[in-house]
Amino acid sequence: MTDASERLRARLNPHRPAIAMSAHNALSAKLAAEAGFDAVWGSGFELSAAHAVPDASILSWETHLAAMRAMVEVQHAPVVADIDTGGGNAVSVAYLVPRYAAAGVAAVVMEDKTFPKDSSLRAEGRQELVRIEEFQGKIEAARIDGGPLVIARTEALIAGLGEAEALRRGAAYAEAGADAVLIHSKQKTPDEILSFCHAWPGRVPLVLVPTAYPRLSFAEVAALEKVGLIICGNHAIRAAVAAMRATFATILAEGGIAGVEDRIASVADIFALQGDSHMREVEARFLR
């Protein structure tokens, strides 16, 4: 197991859940770490959005893997990689996960939907789940060489299969070796998630992504004493889109750029985020 994986495992504390912020490139990952988040969520939704394509297994694995590697390289918070269904079957997973391990990710999150996937929060989306035994095999395949933590994500509630099925799947995935179980919901209130958490026997920590039910506070989650990680699932890309739209609209409306200067990052700030000072040190030492 990598150092990043060990650091993340130590932070999966149900009494004080770790908080991960989403990212879609190296810069957003660096900003998340700079802000003080415990981990970076390498979001498949955000990466797809950054390429202006649906979150439906459209981007290549090379594109996704390169993004995760770039996130790891520029900051020190553990990166949790969203690998959707892990590709086709357990064989795909067995070949894919070691590449993420080599890229330095701390954990992979894999969901029990069929490939190609559809976004969990998409209205009228295709939410078809694989057999429990098949997904157990995928979990075991992800663990064959150690490497990153494996977080098993069940979409039973998303697919409308109910709490009993979600609990059955979560327990089976923990039995297969998952380090944590992610339970997801698209209900606008946290009721079904809270019910699931209360019923969860606690063999491994849970992971929540409260996108659809944002009024559930981190303190309320910690009070459950069942959840080790809370993921802010898509807030980086949504913040970026809102800020860019506002800036672009102001520039066109005012016929110039002066009006936005006090609302956007300075060029000096961008240089700092790029590591310009380190490059200057290298220049001073080695350029002759």
Residues recorded for the chain = 288
For 207, list phi and psi in degrees, rounded to 5.
-130, 135
Nearest to 6 by CA among 48, 50, 39, 47: 39
The SS3 of residue 150 is strand
The Cα 213–Cα 126 span in angstroms is: 21
DSSP string, 194-250: HHHHHH---SS-EEE-TTS-TTS-HHHHHHHS-EEEEEE-SHHHHHHHHHHHHHHHH
The Cα 264–Cα 269 span in angstroms is: 10
The percent helix, strand, coil of the chain (3-state, each to 5) is 45, 15, 40
The SS3 of residue 258 is helix
Residue in 55, 82, 118, 179 annotated catalytic: 55
Q: Is 82 considered catalytic here? A: no
The SS3 of residue 151 is strand
The Cα 244–Cα 160 span in angstroms is: 36
CA 182 vs. chain centroid, Å, equals: 11
Token pair for 202: 């606690």
* Catalytic residue ranges: 55
